[in-house]
Amino acid sequence: MERLKKIRNFCIVAHIDHGKSTLADRLIEKTGTLAKRDMQAQLLDSMELEREKGITIKLTPTKMNYTFEGVDYELNLIDTPGHVDFTYEVSRSLAACEGAILIVDASQGVEAQTLANAYLAIDNNLEILPVINKIDLPSARPEEVKQEIEDVVGVPAMHAPCISAKDGTNIEQVLEMIVKEFPCPKGSETEPLKALIFDSYYDNFKGAICLVRVFDGTVKVGDKISMMQTGKQYEVTEVGVFVPSAKAVDVLRAGDVGYIAGSIKTISDVAVGDTITHSANPCKEALPGYKKVQPVVYCGIYLVDGSKYNELKDALEKLKLNDASLEYMPEVSEALGFGFRCGFLGLLHLEIITERIEREFNLDIITTAPGVSYLLHKTNGEVLEISNPSKWLSPVEIAYVEEPVVKASIFTPPEYVGAIMELAQEKRGISNGLVYLDKTRVRVDYTLPLGEIVYDFFDSLKSRTKGYASFDYEMAGYMQSELVRVDILLNGEKCDALSLIVHKDKAYTRGRAIAEKLKKIIPRQLFEVPIQACIGNKIIARETVSQMRKDVLAKCYGGDITRKRKLLEKQKEGKKRMRQFGSVELPAEAFISILKLDNDE
């Protein structure tokens, strides 16, 4: 049989928690790619954080060998993230595949991201194989869910394997269907090399590594290659496949999924979506590639210990190596000193990056409240894009403001529709209608300001629907809005890192809540510290941290001196976690605390 006919490239897409990584593990185990003793739960989630949070962040390809009806097949699986923040990464992996397994939880049915990811796969002309997972659950209703997939997603699902990835039930059937249902790659080894970079990561020894899907031609060590978009040229030092750890091979051919290393010094030279070809014999045109992804959520990242600025810069650079979607640029805050304004794909992405900075680089950081990027139309006709509230203009200069909005679809059992509508209303949502998918599921559509989603939409949605609702959104341009900047004054001085942009109707309550929260967080100091929230010059809330009266009036004689000095040294150490703002000392938590208002209130 022709070589290409024995290759299947596919990915797994699903709503978060429907079991992508568990199925991936079972496939690897079943095909004997790894011995059972080498297996650890969620094998492909190699980051500590991924395993801990039970989510997949990075794409991880794996090559498996599978024998069906006497023929040895090569199956290349690309695991994908399920969280809405990482939709972009999903779409990248889709372009490297011919088929997608669409996992649906047998009890939960179709969820928001099931649909979003299924549509992405359809848009990429992928063959879709629905798989019903978690049939071991007592609440499983596989037949209904199959019907739901046909009705809601619109792909045939009656033949879908019903499996339990956890127990290993019916995994064989999935493997068979991969071979039977998914088309084999097209392409030719004799054509000039054409390989798509669908991801990259940085290896301390080998440099930047390109994860590629070869569409045409072959590539081997020693080949001179060039990146069609950036024009950069390299000599290949290694090619290989993932089994699932990286393993060097002699050559990668059309249809293969693997990696190429070429002593590429910086990851920024590797543009994901770029096409690799031979320098001497280039292909005629590059693959379509990807749209550059735009960050949607921004926050400032600063250090508790300002002297480690270079270490933070280093950390961001290293993280960027493996995460092209992370954006950052230097910024200075009066309150926090030197730091970076960083752009993220969403709140989870932000959370992951900040956690990684703290864990992997051992840096104590202060993050400012996440916000979005606004369009400020000036009275003189100029338009500014502003993601840092402290750059906001004075009201007289602003003609009007536009804020980014999203089209959100919320999937929910009907009993929570009321609660969701109420929430959406609070979040300034505009209803786009309501669709009954079947007896048990409703899709509620809203246009919502992204800024409101960033704030605490997920948590509120989860708590108000007892976790039954799922949510997906896509960016939907900008909308004119009446927004104002709320400033926080400490001891009469504006603390730039605490400013935030709020809708005018909410400014008063938000300002008051922040002032109250800060009063709880700022310790008593040598001076009385007035906390004021204001819009422009108008004060909308005021609280006071009363003066500290006593820290110690204890005695200190011969036997107390050593102990006392040590105590003092410890206190001095503790001061390092405090930020000096004018004469006010602010604990690092103050800056994050203003985000967490609604959870307490």
Partner 1 sequence: MKKIRIYVHVPFCESKCSYCDFASFVCGEDLKQKYFAKLVQEICGCKYKDREVQSVYFGGGTPSSVDEKYIISVMKCLRHNFTFSNNAEITIECNPASESLDKLKKYRELGINRISFGVQSLNDNTLKFLNRRHTKKDAVEAIKDAQKAGFENISADLIIGVSESQEDLIDSAKQLLNLGVKHISAYMLQIEEGTPLYNAYQNNNSIVPSEDYCVGMYDRLVVFLTERGFCHYEISNFALPCYQSQHNLGYWRLDDYIGFGLSAHSFVDGVRFANSNNFNDYFEDKNITREVLTAQQKIEEKIMLGLRCQEGVSIKDLLNLGYDIMTNPNLSNFVENGIIILQKNGKTPDKITINPAYYGVSNSIIVKLLP
Contact 336, 497 (CB under 8 A): yes
Give the pairing type, strands 194-203 and 207-216. Answer: antiparallel
For partner 1, give the closer residue by CB, 216 or 543: 543
| Contacts with 57 (C-beta within 8 Å, 6 or more apart), sequence order | 45, 47, 49, 50, 81, 86, 89, 352
What residues does 487 pair with on adjacent strands? 534
- Confirm or reject binding of residue 583 to partner 1 (CB under 8 A): yes
- Contacting residue, 230, 279, 571, 599, with partner 1 by CB under 8 A: 571
CA distance 202 to 468: 39
Contact 486, 395 (CB under 8 A): no
- Which residue's entry shows tokens 């103050």? 590
- Confirm or reject binding of residue 5 to partner 1 (CB under 8 A): no
CA distance 147 to 136: 19
CB of 440 to partner 1, least distance (A): 53
Kindly provide the residue ranges of all beta strands, DSSP E only, lying in 206-250, ordered along the sequence. 207-216, 218-220, 224-227, 233-235, 238-242, 246-249
CB of 306 to partner 1, least distance (A): 15
- Contacting residue, 564, 577, 587, 596, with partner 1 by CB under 8 A: 564
Q: Measured in whole angstroms, how far is the alpha carbon of residue 493 from the centre of its chain? A: 35
Nearest residue to 276 (alpha-carbon basis) of 209, 184, 207:
209
For partner 1, give the closer residue by CB, 439 or 572: 572
- Contacting residue, 180, 265, 504, 575, with partner 1 by CB under 8 A: 575
Cα-trace Rg, the chain = 27
- Confirm or reject binding of residue 72 to partner 1 (CB under 8 A): no
For partner 1, give the closer residue by CB, 435 or 556: 556
For partner 1, give the closer residue by CB, 5 or 566: 566
- Confirm or reject binding of residue 565 to partner 1 (CB under 8 A): yes
CB of 526 to partner 1, least distance (A): 6
For partner 1, give the closer residue by CB, 313 or 524: 524
Residue 33 is encoded by which pair of tokens? 């790619």
Query: Considering only residues 321-360, where is the footprint of partner 1 by CB under 8 A?
Result: none
Alpha helices, H only, 404-473: 417-426, 450-452, 458-464
Query: Considering only residues 522-561, where is the footprint of partner 1 by CB under 8 A?
Result: 525-527, 548-559, 561
Total residues at the site for partner 1 (CB under 8 A)?
25
Nearest residue to 407 (alpha-carbon basis) of 440, 432, 389, 390:
432
- Confirm or reject binding of residue 568 to partner 1 (CB under 8 A): yes
For partner 1, give the closer residue by CB, 222 or 558: 558
CA distance 538 to 506: 15
For partner 1, give the closer residue by CB, 480 or 547: 547
Q: Considering only the stretches 56-64, 182-190, 224-232, 563-571, report the one whose residues sit in contact with partner 1 under the rule CB under 8 A.
A: 563-571
CB of 493 to partner 1, least distance (A): 14
For partner 1, give the closer residue by CB, 439 or 549: 549
CB of 523 to partner 1, least distance (A): 10
Classify the C-alpha dihedral 561-563-569-575 as positive or negative: negative
Q: Measured in whole angstroms, how far is the alpha carbon of residue 592 from the centre of its chain? A: 19
19: left (phi over 0), alpha (psi -120 to 50) or beta: left
CB of 569 to partner 1, least distance (A): 7
For partner 1, give the closer residue by CB, 475 or 556: 556
CB of 321 to partner 1, least distance (A): 39
- Confirm or reject binding of residue 188 to partner 1 (CB under 8 A): no
- Site pattern 394..413 for partner 1 (x: CB under 8 A): --------------------
- Confirm or reject binding of residue 520 to partner 1 (CB under 8 A): no
CA distance 215 to 230: 19
For partner 1, give the closer residue by CB, 180 or 575: 575
Interface residues toward partner 1, by CB under 8 A: 525-527, 548-559, 561-562, 564-565, 568-569, 571-572, 575, 583
